[in-house]
């Protein structure tokens, strides 16, 4: 069974509205091409932010930090973070803010406030919930064509982080629960898991390989075969410019410690989808404290980590309760990395 081990990230209201209007129609997906999942053209940015293309261009001429990258064809390319910044600025202007004053804050502060300004939710909204139910209905009875058309179409037109936290991770958790309850065959569960892995791998492979920035190791503990959330964490680290070593499932602690001694990461993150038994947990955490912590700062996340919180805290191991906690930790790491030069 696959379980998703980290918490959901808020879904942008603008993307929700677009999703409701455009993505519930399979025929619409069939007509849509496959844009890059991690960058957007100006017309997509306008739709996602509510800004006109003219305003976006004017801001880029006036404010150097708002200039996007350009591809070989000279088209503007906007990353998901750049979309988030423009969405945040639009919200501030609508609330009476002034662009001249906002520009003094700088890009990093914009990003920090953009993340903090989105209300936290414990589950996806009704639009995404309905879509998830449509995906699940195509699994029993199993219809591969409908499932893949729906999933591929949604991931192609939604910024990938929105798709990751609004569709892929909730889908993985629900499919795992259906398998656990005996309502879905394990072969179908494996199939869905591979589809989700492919989406995350594809998105990660489109990101540049960082040569600088904070070094982060991501791994699952020994015996843990479910690594979807670990790869989701690795993706978020890569997006934020970290140098990521993602080891995946079932990593022996001795090997992890040896790698940390060699790589000297700024942070090691371990994904715990499920809790260990009391006896095994005590031995595992003791070994982490003795072998891994001397070589690297260590943080843990997931349902299992939350269940074992007291044990981790006994050894001063940080428990990340949400992706927001992860983002804050990464922001601090990246600031330190920049200051080191």
Structure tokens at 97: 């803010």
Residues of the chain with CATH 3.40.50.280: 215-340
CA distance 311 to 278: 10
In the predicted model, is pLDDT for residue 313 greater than 80?
Answer: yes
In angstroms, what CA-CA distances link 69 with 75, 78, 98, 246, 260?
A: 8, 7, 25, 27, 34
pLDDT at 171: 93
Q: Sort strands 76-79 and 39-40 into parallel, antiparallel or unpaired.
A: antiparallel
Q: Are the beta carbons of 318 and 298 closer than 8 angstroms?
A: yes
Q: Is the pLDDT higher at 107 or at 294?
A: 294
> In the predicted model, is pLDDT for residue 180 greater than 60?
yes
Under 8 Å between Cβ of 206 and 37: yes
Q: Rg of the chain over CA atoms, in angstroms?
A: 21
Residue-level pLDDT at 224: 93
The pLDDT of residue 319: 93
Reference 319, options 9, 8, 5; nearest CA is: 5
Q: Which band of pLDDT confidence, cut at 50, 70 and 90, is reported for residue 122?
A: very low
pLDDT at 119: 46
Residue 22 has pLDDT above 60, yes or no: no
pLDDT of residue 31: 33
pLDDT at 26 over 60: no
Q: Which pLDDT tens digit goes with each residue over 29-40? A: 333 333 333 567
**pTM, to two decimals:** 0.65
Question: Where do runs of H (alpha helix) occur along 76-180?
Answer: 80-94, 99-102, 107-117, 126-137, 144-157, 160-163, 169-180
- How confident is the model at residue 188, as a pLDDT? 95
Q: Is pLDDT at 297 greater than 70 in this prediction?
A: yes
Task: Give the HSE-up count for residue 311: Cα atoms under 13 Å, Cβ half-sphere.
Answer: 21
- Least confidently predicted of 1-5, 37-41, 83-87, 256-260: 1-5
Question: What is the predicted pLDDT for the residue at 156?
Answer: 85
- pLDDT score for 110: 80
- Domain 215-340 CATH assignment equals 3.40.50.620: no
CA-closest candidate to residue 126, choices 170, 80, 173: 170
Residue range(s) in the chain whose domain bears CATH number 1.10.1660.10: 35-117
Question: CATH classification of 35-117, choosing from 1.10.1660.10, 3.60.20.40, 3.30.70.1350, 1.10.10.10?
Answer: 1.10.1660.10
């Amino acid at each position: 069974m696959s379980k998703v081990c980290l918490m959901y990230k808020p879904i942008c209201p603008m993307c929700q509205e677009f999703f409701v209007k455009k993505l519930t129609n399979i025929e619409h997906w069939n007509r849509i091409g496959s844009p890059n999942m991690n960058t957007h053209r100006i017309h997509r940015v306008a739709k996602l932010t509510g800004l006109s293309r003219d305003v976006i261009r004017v801001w880029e001429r006036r404010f150097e930090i708002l200039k996007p990258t350009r591809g070989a064809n000279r088209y503007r390319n906007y990353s998901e973070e750049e979309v988030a910044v423009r969405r945040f600025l639009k919200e501030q202007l609508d609330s009476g803010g002034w662009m001249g004053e906002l520009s003094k804050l700088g890009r990093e502060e914009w990003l920090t406030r953009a993340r903090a300004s989105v209300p936290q939710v414990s589950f996806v909204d009704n639009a995404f919930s309905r879509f998830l139910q449509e995906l699940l209905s195509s699994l029993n009875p199993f219809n591969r064509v409908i499932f893949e058309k729906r999933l591929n179409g949604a991931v192609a037109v939604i910024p990938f982080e929105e798709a990751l936290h609004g569709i892929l991770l909730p889908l993985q958790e629900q499919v795992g629960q259906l398998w656990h309850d005996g309502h879905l065959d394990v072969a179908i569960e494996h199939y869905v898991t591979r589809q989700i892995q492919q989406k995350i791998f594809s998105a990660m492979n489109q990101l540049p390989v960082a040569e600088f920035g904070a070094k982060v190791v991501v791994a699952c503990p020994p015996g843990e075969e479910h690594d979807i959330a670990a790869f989701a964490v690795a993706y978020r680290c890569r997006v934020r410019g970290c140098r990521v070593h993602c080891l995946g499932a079932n990593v022996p602690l001795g090997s992890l410690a040896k790698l940390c001694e060699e790589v000297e990461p700024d942070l090691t993150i371990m994904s715990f989808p499920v809790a260990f038994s009391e006896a095994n947990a005590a031995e595992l955490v003791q070994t982490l404290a003795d072998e891994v912590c001397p070589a690297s700062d260590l943080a843990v996340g997931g349902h299992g980590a939350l269940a074992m919180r007291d044990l981790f805290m006994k050894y001063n191991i940080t428990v990340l309760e949400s992706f927001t906690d992860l983002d804050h930790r990464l922001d601090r790491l990246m600031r330190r990395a920049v200051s080191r030069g």
